[in-house]
Amino acid sequence: MPLNHVDLPPLISVEATGVCIPVGNSEVLLTAVYKSPGRAWSDPDITGLLSFRRKSILAGDLNAKHQFWNSGVSNPSVLKLMDLFDTSDFEISAPQCPTHYSPAGNDDVLDIVVHKNIRVSDVIVSDILDSDHLPIIFNILDHVKIRKLSEPIGKFTDWERFQSLASELISPKLEINSGVEADKAARDFAASIATAYKLSTSKITLSDINNELPGLDLLRKYKQRLRKLWQETRDPACKTAVNWVTKSIRRMTRKKALERWETNIANAEVTPQSIWPIAKFLLKRDGPRAPTAIHGSHGLTFYPSEKANEIADCLEMQYTPHDLCDENHEQRVEARVQALLEIVDDNPPQRIRPCDVQELIKSLKLKKACGIDGIPSECLRHFPRRPFVHLTHLFNHWLRLSHFPTTWKEAKVITLPKPGKDPKFPQNLRPISLLSTTGKLFEKVILKFLRKHIEERGLLNASQFGFRARQSTTLQCMRLADHVTLNFNNKMSTAAVFLDIEKAFDTTWHSGFLCKLSNLEFSNSLTKLIGSFLSKRKFRVSVEGEMSTPREMQAGVPQGSVLPLTLFNLYINDAPQTHGVNLALFADDTCLYATDRKEGFIVRKLQRGLSSMETWCERWNKKINEDKTQGIYFSRGRRPSESCLTLNGRNIPL
């Protein structure tokens, strides 16, 4: 391609070099620019470069950070650039991945593309150079395809129409005698409800916007659509509309913020309960952002589909049981569970009443995200009589068959970065499972029978405070603090060891758990139903709208619903309690503590407790993370020396 060097006009704040390249029947000025962070912003530099030719492209580091293109913050340079954008006829394109990787972990998007009278493709980041500052790639598009103002920017659901369609689409015939028929009934029910919801939900398009000022959220979506349309059509009317919407958003935002602040101040009382929310609002910081790059097995990946599969690979390895227990013990447990699942239960099946289902539906949270089937919780709240009764019959059939439908065992997994860790590595992301709303409702039905058996027989350990009514972490901490201070009065010291069980929820051994349920004398039908709930579960990771391939969970309980929390409490319920050693539990967080007048006696007691816990973890495929295990010694007197405990061959200082 022939390139013609161009002598650019004098510049104040930026350094630049430019060439003219032929595109179609015209020339395009392509300018590489750089603005030092220490230099003041100059609008004439940008306008001068863009007006030097009819079609112009500026690309490079303008030191302009904006959250619109995934920067962490918006700096003063970008505010001036956006003010110039509101009054000019150029466009801004930016990559969604960082272009600069700092050793301190402050990765950010520094390089952007400013273009006028010409359209460019999506900007992507290339890793062809081994540098902390990566180049960007984009295509110049000479031909523009005109689109209509028909894209949806909102939706509205007609619930009366939904109730009518749901009643029509639900089939009244129910002949369920096997697990295959149960799965088909679940799929048909979900498809009917999803279809009724889709047909009763209307989409609002740009052409539906009237001259009246719409809501703030609608305006923001309206602006995004108009800006994209302007990039494709270069219609001056679209640019005028973008400027008008931008000014309206700023005006409404300032007005609403001022009104909300004045209302909060006027209604605030001089009490901690009223002052604390205001202080929390003033100290509010931005939440964690989704990782823009993932360091996978083949280096850095930037595309959403590749990132989703890299994270799924990591999670698939994570949802695998530890191979710690004795082989003979494992074989005995597997054989017992297999025999248990083959037993035919002669007891009458448990049944749920429509009024009970109605109460459980009311307990569903409306703002929870829906699963892969796309049915929100609000649909269940608006069920008419026929689908409601039909769903109750389905639940009773599944209880009779001890079967959990396969279609509700696939989770959509999104990830959140763990605080203080590099989000580029998949193991530093916290998975959140989004499950089917109807499936979570059936889990509540199972939990109802599970809790009834637990409460009637008092099965849960009294030292377990996790996910139980009228219990909390605060009460557990107070229990330990009271024990320590009361023994201070008796001139006794206390030592405690805080254990961390590695991937406790994700590595739960399914067969071991079913064996424990049998030991707790749960009915065979309920045990088999929970076995069906845990077996053959799958998940798919979602990143920026792209889904990974399905993966199977070999172990663990799905996080994202209420049933697995109680199940894990039952799994850890038989944690050993040694004589002279107290146990404090909050789900997987475990504390062993002992009290005596002499430090040597305390150390021996705690060592026996740790040895028992170590043996129990190996027997049930649980692994203690020695690096996160901490010991502490509570005493009023001075200690002559520091003692140590031993855990898996590692010293734990007290």
For the chain, the domains span 4-140, 154-283, 305-463+508-563, 465-507+564-653
pLDDT band at 342 (very low <50, low <70, confident <90, very high): confident
pLDDT (0 to 100) of residue 609 = 92
Residue 70 pLDDT > 60, yes or no?
yes
Token readout for 34 is 């750089």
Residue 482 pLDDT > 90, yes or no?
yes
pLDDT (0 to 100) of residue 150 = 47
pLDDT band at 214 (very low <50, low <70, confident <90, very high): very low
Residue 450 pLDDT > 70, yes or no?
yes
Q: Which residue has the higher pLDDT, 106 or 493?
A: 493
- Short-list 371, 595, 381, 630, CA closest to 489: 595
In the chain, the percentage of residues whose pLDDT exceeds 90 is 17
pLDDT (0 to 100) of residue 7 = 84
Task: Give the pLDDT confidence of 572-584 residue by residue, as tens digits.
Answer: 888 988 889 999 9
Residues 78, 82, 88, 89, CA torsion sign: positive
Residue 152 β-bridge partners: 205
pTM of the model: 0.66
pLDDT band at 270 (very low <50, low <70, confident <90, very high): low
pLDDT (0 to 100) of residue 143 = 45
Q: Which residue has the higher pLDDT, 146 or 428?
A: 428
CA angle 297, 301, 304 (to 5 degrees): 120
Q: Which residue has the higher pLDDT, 289 or 179?
A: 179
- State the Cα–Cα distance between residues 495 and 228, nearest whole angstrom: 63
**Once rounded to an integer, what is the mean pLDDT over residues 542-553?**
88
Q: Specify the CATH number of the domain 4-140.
A: 3.60.10.10
Residue 208 pLDDT > 60, yes or no?
no
pLDDT (0 to 100) of residue 495 = 92
Phi and psi torsions of 298, nearest 5°: -115, 30
Which of 69-78, 160-169, 598-607 shows the lowest per-residue confidence on average (mean pLDDT)? Answer: 69-78
Angle between helices 272-282 and 236-267 (to 10 degrees): 150
Residue 151 pLDDT > 70, yes or no?
no
Q: Which residue has the higher pLDDT, 198 or 225?
A: 198
Contact 552/538 with Cβ under 8 angstroms? yes
pLDDT band at 287 (very low <50, low <70, confident <90, very high): very low
Q: Helix H segments across 170-301?
A: 179-199, 216-233, 236-267, 272-282
**Please, what is the average pLDDT of the chain?**
82
pLDDT band at 548 (very low <50, low <70, confident <90, very high): very high
**Once rounded to an integer, what is the mean pLDDT over residues 538-551?**
89
pLDDT (0 to 100) of residue 296 = 77
**Are domains 4-140 and 465-507+564-653 of this chain identical in fold?**
no
**Once rounded to an integer, what is the mean pLDDT over residues 244-270?**
73
DSSP 538-606: EEEEEETTEEPPPEEESS---SSSSHHHHHHHHHTTT----TT-EEEEETTEEEEEEEESSHHHHHHHH
**Once rounded to an integer, what is the mean pLDDT over residues 153-182?**
82
pLDDT band at 145 (very low <50, low <70, confident <90, very high): very low
pLDDT (0 to 100) of residue 273 = 63
- The domain defined by 465-507+564-653 folds into Alpha-Beta Plaits (3.30.70)
Residue 610 pLDDT > 70, yes or no?
yes
Residue 359 pLDDT > 50, yes or no?
yes
pLDDT (0 to 100) of residue 281 = 59
**Most confident listed range (89-93, 129-133, 264-268):** 89-93
Residue 56 pLDDT > 80, yes or no?
yes
577 alpha-carbon distance from chain centroid: 36
pLDDT band at 78 (very low <50, low <70, confident <90, very high): confident
In the chain, the percentage of residues whose pLDDT exceeds 70 is 88
pLDDT (0 to 100) of residue 583 = 92
Which of 236-250, 389-403, 597-611, 622-636 shows the lowest per-residue confidence on average (mean pLDDT)? Answer: 236-250
pLDDT (0 to 100) of residue 148 = 41
Residue 630 pLDDT > 50, yes or no?
yes
Residue 252 pLDDT > 80, yes or no?
no
Residue 25 pLDDT > 80, yes or no?
no
pLDDT (0 to 100) of residue 323 = 81
pLDDT band at 276 (very low <50, low <70, confident <90, very high): low
Residue 147 pLDDT > 60, yes or no?
no
Q: Which residues contact 33 (CB under 8 A, 6 or more apart)?
A: 14, 15, 16, 49, 58, 59, 60, 61, 62
Residue 594 pLDDT > 90, yes or no?
yes
**Is 479 in a helix, a strand, or coil?**
helix
